Structure 1
Amino acid sequence: MENWDNIRFFLAVARSGSVRGAALALRVTHSTVLRRISQLEAQLGARLFEKLPSGYALTGAGEEIFELSGTMESISSQLQSRVFARDQSLSGSLRIALPPSLATDLLMPDLADFTKLHPAIEMQVNTSYRAVNLTTRQADVAIRLVYDQMSLPQHLIGSRLEDVYRGVYVAKSLLICEYDDVRWIKKKEDGELPSWAAAIQLGKNKPPVLVDELSSQVAAARAGLGVTILPCFVGDSDPQLERLWGSSVEYYGTIWLLTLDETRKTKRIKEFIEFIKLRIKSHRAELSGNI
């Protein structure tokens, strides 16, 4: 087991190209990654990485180990999934991955209800916008907001659930007469405004306010820094915000539930999937902006 753990650390460094990236992916310290790599190199009697200014590069020996390790990882994951699928108890761990906004603004009360129904299940909630690897059991179930169905991994079992809509929101404290001088609040990766939002003809003469992530975007809107585009389930539930009068709601993406074929046979996974599908369906009005 220890040897395999060392190989997991090796794969994480090889894939990220850095010790820091591996530490973040594995949720361990920088020093733990270095120690495990040193142990593996000592066991194999070969240097596996060369440290360059740009990061960690595989040596010749490292390239060979990388190819073999990928095969080992795949076989190990298949074995774990098949053993896991035989578990028909309603106890044990349940790992769920979903975006922070879906967790904090929509589904956390539903997750709480599930734990009340099944107190012997240990729920582990991973809230991140980064995709998780279900094959290596970083999660048992992933709930994703998908913008392009073609981007879904073909090896996963997926259920298309509810469509999500978005609209333009503004602080209730911002007076209508101030709209002519308003700014757009955008996340840095958003790029140009979509045509339906640009047609509102606001903020044409002002540079936008740029933020890093959704929570800062909401906070900036609450503070009256400007108008912003938010998923309806986020904007409509915030008592300090309101939808811009006269603006429309537009399709944003679709919630998908993803799991592995073997994993979904496990009783606690099956119970959760059936439960959360019904709960997400019950949120159709909030997700569509029809409240």
Structure 2
Amino acid sequence: MFDWNDLKYFLAVARTGSTLAAARSLKVNQTTVARRIDALERGLGLTLFVRLPNGYRLTERGEATVALAEQVEQGASTLADTARGWNRTIAGTVRVTTTEILAIDVVAPLVAELRSQHPSLSIELIADDRRLDLSCGEVDVALRVGSCPEEPGIVRRRLATSVWALHCARSYAERHGLPGTIADLGRHEIVGGTGSLKELGPLVALRKAAPDAPIGIRCNSVPNLIAAVRSGMAIGPLPCWAAFEDDGLLRCPVPELEARSDIWLLYHESLRESPHVRLFREAVTARFEVVRHRFEGRSAPGVQAV
């Protein structure tokens, strides 16, 4: 069997008429070209060239072989061009899991932008507080809030710190004033948690700090919690991101009830070089570079801290 690579040397000699000229065009030495031509003829069992003092002349079989070799050359070129196109075209499905608030406020808008640039990219977004298994392939990427996971094989990147602080609606403050200390909370209605929010840290801390405060409403999800506080019916802890640029919300000056949790980007190391997963990871990381201060409650115009 002949070596496919020898066809490159064969075509170079056929086109230039000598091993010397072919060697120059291929940037190899003349001996290598002559050796590869000899090997090709042995592999095919054909004489492709007549060796003359002034160069190489194609035999009848050699001329026929040129046409066939050029087909192989064209096929290789087409394959290379196609591969480059595939590498430029990001395609595939990225399965992402995160919390509801991150899904709504960060991931969904980002997906819309990515899809406009990469129509063959598909995102499967799972908004769930459950910790789906990255190692078993339940999801490809996770955006999680809380402690850093320690599972082997998981790549971790801290994106930001999510700060929660006590907030109320401006309309609530106009009717009842603002608590200035923890001791003031007893005369205010507060939000309580139920269902999946029953053990939410900021809500539990609020209840412990104000055990005698009446509970105006109980919520079972973060979007419900945000809506309840915005409605003006009670005071409650909110992620600073949700209150950003919202003139209807006021941040209460009770720093003892502020809570901080890290936001992590996680994926399995086996997906490190996956083009579509890498594109999503890089886009999420870049987005958090822009919005990190909002999560951290810094320089948030529209949210009045008093």
* Fold shared, TM-score > 0.5 on shorter chain: yes
**1:253–1:193 Cα change, 3 Å:** closer
3-state SS of paired residue (2:277): helix
**1:267–1:127 Cα change, 3 Å:** same
Shift of 1:225: 1.9
Shift of 1:231: 0.9
1:272 to 2:270 alignment: no
Match of 1:281 in 2: 289
Taking the aligned partners of 1:90 and 1:193, their CA distance within structure 2 comes to 40
1:243 to 2:251 alignment: yes
TM, length-normalised to structure 2: 0.58
3-state SS of paired residue (1:265): coil
Alpha-carbon RMSD = 2.8
The amino acid of 2:241's aligned partner reads F
Taking the aligned partners of 1:135 and 1:163, their CA distance within structure 2 comes to 25
Give the unaligned 5+ runs of structure 2. 1-85, 178-183, 301-306
Match of 1:190 in 2: 199
**1:191–1:96 Cα change, 3 Å:** closer
3-state SS of paired residue (1:175): helix
Match of 1:30 in 2: none
Match of 2:7 in 1: none
Aligned length: 201
Taking the aligned partners of 1:175 and 1:271, their CA distance within structure 2 comes to 45
Preserved contact between residue 157 and residue 260 of structure 1 (Cα < 8 Å) = yes
Taking the aligned partners of 1:128 and 1:231, their CA distance within structure 2 comes to 17
The amino acid of 1:156's aligned partner reads I
Taking the aligned partners of 1:124 and 1:152, their CA distance within structure 2 comes to 25
Preserved contact between residue 193 and residue 203 of structure 2 (Cα < 8 Å) = no
**RCO higher in structure (CA 8 A, sep ≥6):** 1
The amino acid of 2:158's aligned partner reads R
TM, length-normalised to structure 1: 0.61
Give the unaligned 5+ runs of structure 1. 1-86
Preserved contact between residue 233 and residue 289 of structure 1 (Cα < 8 Å) = yes
The amino acid of 1:219's aligned partner reads A
TM-superposition CA deviations, 1:124-149 (whole Å, max 9, x none):
11111111122332211111112x22
Shift of 1:261: 0.9
Match of 1:112 in 2: 112
The amino acid of 2:188's aligned partner reads V
Taking the aligned partners of 1:237 and 1:212, their CA distance within structure 2 comes to 25
Shift of 1:239: 4.7
Match of 1:54 in 2: none
1:161 to 2:169 alignment: no
1:133 to 2:142 alignment: no
Preserved contact between residue 163 and residue 251 of structure 1 (Cα < 8 Å) = no
Taking the aligned partners of 1:261 and 1:279, their CA distance within structure 2 comes to 22
Taking the aligned partners of 1:192 and 1:256, their CA distance within structure 2 comes to 18
1:95 to 2:101 alignment: no
- Larger Cα-atom Rg: 2
TM-superposition CA deviations, 1:14-44 (whole Å, max 9, x none):
xxxxxxxxxxxxxxxxxxxxxxxxxxxxxxx
Taking the aligned partners of 1:108 and 1:163, their CA distance within structure 2 comes to 20
The amino acid of 1:98's aligned partner reads T
Taking the aligned partners of 2:241 and 2:106, their CA distance within structure 1 comes to 7
Preserved contact between residue 193 and residue 219 of structure 2 (Cα < 8 Å) = yes
Deviates more, 1:119-128 or 1:168-177: 168-177
3-state SS of paired residue (2:285): helix
TM-superposition CA deviations, 1:71-99 (whole Å, max 9, x none):
xxxxxxxxxxxxxxxx9661121111111
The amino acid of 1:140's aligned partner reads D
3-state SS of paired residue (1:153): coil
The amino acid of 1:253's aligned partner reads S
Match of 2:228 in 1: 220
Shift of 1:166: 1.2
The amino acid of 2:260's aligned partner reads Y
Preserved contact between residue 169 and residue 231 of structure 2 (Cα < 8 Å) = yes
Match of 2:124 in 1: 124
TM-superposition CA deviations, 1:137-178 (whole Å, max 9, x none):
2211111112x22x4423311112211111111011113451
Shift of 1:288: 0.8
